[in-house]
Amino acid sequence: MNVNFGSHIVSPAASTQHFIPFTGGSREVSIVIKAIELIRQRACSNDLCNIYFKVLDNKRTFEEIYIDENVWINYRTQPFRGNEPPWQGQTALDGKIVSGGKEYDIAIHSSSFFLRKSLPEPKQVEEIAAIIVHEMAHVAGAPNLGPQAEQALIHCGFLAQYDSTISG
Ligand SMILES: [Zn+2]
């Protein structure tokens, strides 16, 4: 996974959804970098997590997606408009084909950071990490309806963040 600081051109669908780069050095970036490290510690060599991902539609282990340079974590600050349901994380799956496979764009909305700003930082990091793991399950093929993406949290070390009411 890579964090987009401006070198990455997002896919057309991701662009329509206002996915943008993070600003280097921001508080949000500091949390995202720590979240990526926490995910590595809890999930990359976690057999239950790797097996769970491998049975999703794209048949890739968690670690394969984690180390995939073509999976990008983007940002969004644009408020939700009209009929758009508010989201914390979003994945656009229409990325272009590149030499190493296919590009995938994930975004974390600025409200996800804002809502948590009064929590202790380790808690903020853990919750943002859980959002990323959920989106990684969509990259792995979890459908946009149903429990599969959220259930990744159970298997990948983020049980405390699991929300059984989430579908999609
Ligand atoms: Zn989802």
Longest dimension (CA), the chain: 42
Could you read off the pLDDT tens digit of each residue along the chain, which spans 168 residues?
Answer: 999 999 999 999 999 999 999 999 999 999 999 999 999 999 999 999 999 999 999 999 999 999 999 999 999 999 999 999 999 999 999 999 998 889 999 999 999 999 999 999 999 999 999 999 999 999 999 999 999 999 999 999 999 999 999 999
Q: Find, among 78, 53, 87, the residue nearest to 168 by Cα.
A: 87
For residue 20, the 8-state DSSP code is B
pLDDT at 165: 97
Can you tell me whether residue 76 is helix, strand or coil?
strand
Reduce the DSSP state of residue 69 to 3 states and report it.
coil
Taking the C-alpha atoms of residue 168 and residue 164, their distance in angstroms, rounded to an integer, is 11
5 Cα: distance to centroid of ligand 1 (angstroms): 24
Amino acid at 148: Q
Note whether residue 128 is domain-resident. yes
Prediction pTM value: 0.97
Residue 68 identity (one-letter amino acid): D
Distance from the alpha carbon of residue 89 to the mean position of ligand 1, in angstroms: 7
Residues 51 and 28: their CA atoms lie apart, in Å, by 31
Q: Look at residue 167 and tell me if it is in a domain.
A: no
Tell me if 168 is assigned to some domain: no
Inside any domain, residue 58: yes
134 is written with which tokens? 């959920």
- Would strands 97-98 and 104-109 be described as parallel, antiparallel, or unpaired? unpaired
Q: What is the predicted pLDDT for the residue at 100?
A: 81
* Number of domains within the chain: 1
Residue 143: CB atoms within 10 Å? 14
Q: Which amino acid is at 118?
A: S
Classify residue 83: in a domain, yes or no: yes
Question: In which domain, by residue range, is 84 found?
Answer: 2-161
Place of tokens 């380790």: 122
Tell whether 166 is covered by a domain: no
Distance 137 CA to ligand 1 centre (A): 8
Residue 12 lies inside a defined structural domain of this protein: yes
Between the CA of 148 and the centroid of ligand 1 the distance, in Å, is 8
- Positive/negative CA dihedral, 139, 144, 150, 151: negative
Whether 142 is covered by a domain: the verdict is: yes
Do 110 and 76 meet the contact criterion of CB atoms below 8 Å apart?
yes
The CATH number covering residue 131 comes to 3.30.2010.20
Distance 135 CA to ligand 1 centre (A): 6
